[in-house]
Structure 1
């Protein structure tokens, strides 16, 4: 092919392209190109941030320990009065009636029957019998998000030889029913609780101590750093944080810090239990921590009412 023909073909093709392009411009039918947005989107933006649920909290500021104490000692006094009549132990039904008159109908009557069987050797003879019921602890717990009273008592009897036998009775109840009753052989009585123990009214002091711990112990930025590094409790920055907290034994704080993801306010109070030990006047405060949408971790915070100081934090 000679040179002149090549140039004719070239200019012909160029003219065709020009005419075609001009026609597209006039018609407005531009070719459509679609680029998926996912090409530009970050994978992180596609991930939904997990939101932990908020749990119901026991309103501690609405609780007056001294009023509760008076109510609980009244119940133990009523039991002592009822059991002073030997007819209250004449049968399991008679004992159940005496208990239910004070605490409400038993949710499971089998529990009272089992208790009767346990103490039967102590009440089956004229030479043995009932001595007393003493209160050794009381408090409140959220059960299915509803407040329930709790008590621990020591029931004392003597056998035919005059030897004393103790049984520890745990009760859980509200204004309507006796929700739970458990009995154990023996007791670990350090000091009984009486209505004269006025220093039990210390919930406000604990709230102050706990608020300060939440303030000092919360550090979400440190938590994120520790999580990236593998959550080492010996990390220098965490040890400094741990040292700043006013606690007798801070060894359990790491678990709480980890489960709350560095925000201690995500620990929700679910109960308390007062005892009257001679040296510390110990109270246990129970907290729940949501660790996922469904999972919950539980902690016990031990508080010394006499020293007005948090003793320890223990994951259950």
Structure 2
């Protein structure tokens, strides 16, 4: 009898539960549960990754330095021929016309007028004389993503006492225009470049040296660890990496490593400049590094063509290139 009562109680409770659930379904009043979103949130705060743009790069493999040199020496020869006629110094317009025949129309005619005004003491008297124009250096630069040729020249004059006066002229031009011209007075005369110079045959070796540096110096994992620790250039592993670089003065490597975020492939070649100094030929290679969506850092990598070795890596003050 006791057992029968227990079963009756059990089935009664079960029936009550069933009726209650049926009533809830009919009424639509389902119980609501709120689960905090934080239950699913990760404890790790992921850093928002900023998209760094790629920059246009100068294709060094497409440049034949010896051909480029011949093109520059041809222009120097044309200038010497033109200004062997003193009438081309008779006015600023005459001089500008002679120069524009060689380099194309000047983007800023004022630059040519300033040039004439600077050398006027040397050309305003028959007692003074024009000597020659010589080539100090040449190269190419990307300006607003367009390729321009760069030249530095030395213009030499003598006064009535036989004293030599030198002026250094810097030009940037392409096949359409003379983009820029500036002048420095009484600058130090350095080794000039002639068509007979064949040292440039070795300049392609820079690509090999740079490729090796990029491969050896790229370490994104190390960069992330250094950034987490406060980006200290004295960090032991970085010092070991810096020491392994085949660079005479590696002190500028830290800036390059930091700005490329440990991936040196993010340094884009934007130009080069060849000289015959200090003794056997030095070349400067210019690189741009995107540091943010709009920010860009610039570096000069100095290369010794005789030793076939990178001498230094230097971060550049962008104010120096404000005209570009």
Using the size of structure 1 for normalisation, the TM-score is: 0.91
CA positional deviation for 1:204: 2.0
Measure, in 2, the Cα distance between the counterparts of 1:280 and 1:76: 22
Contact 1:65 1:202 in 2 (8 A): no
Deviations 1:168-219 (A, max 9, x none): 0000000000000001102222210001111113342000000000011011
How many residues are matched?
305
* Residue in structure 1 matched with residue 155 of structure 2 by the alignment: 155
2:221 is matched with: 221
Give the equivalent residue in structure 2 for 1:10: none
Mapped to 1, the partners of 2:128 and 2:175 lie a distance apart of: 34
Q: Is the 8 A contact 1:156 1:167 kept in 2?
A: yes
Matched, 1:292 2:289: no
Q: Residue 26 of structure 1: CA displacement?
A: 6.1
Instruction: Give the corresponding residue for 1:114.
Output: 114
Deviation at 1:136, TM superposition (A): 0.2
Partner of 1:173: 173
TM-score between the two structures when normalised by the length of structure 2: 0.89
Could you say which residue in structure 2 is the equivalent of 1:270? 270
Where does residue 97 of structure 2 map in the other structure?
Answer: 97
Distance 2:218 2:278 in 1: 33
Answer with 247-256 or 195-204: which moved more.
Answer: 195-204
Gaps of 5+ in 1: 1-12
Q: Is the deviation greater in 79-88 or in 34-43? A: 34-43
**Could you say what the CA RMSD is over the residues aligned between the two structures, in angstroms?**
2.2
Cα shift readout 1:208-235 (whole Å, capped 9, x = no counterpart) = 0000000110111111111111111111
> Equivalent residue for 2:246?
246
Deviations 1:122-159 (A, max 9, x none): 01111101100000000000000010000000000011
Query: Take 2:303 and 2:27, find their aligned partners in 1: how far apart are those partners?
Result: 83
Provide the C-alpha distance between the structure 2 equivalents of 1:54 and 1:249, rounded to a whole number of angstroms: 28
What does residue 128 of structure 1 align with? Answer: 128
Is residue 83 from structure 1 mapped to residue 83 from structure 2 by the alignment?
A: yes
Query: How much does 1:47 deviate?
Result: 5.4
* Greater alpha carbon shift after TM alignment, 41-50 vs 124-133: 41-50
Looking at structure 2, the residues matched to 133 and 20 of structure 1 have their Cα atoms a distance apart, in angstroms, of 106
Q: Partner of 1:73 in structure 2?
A: 73
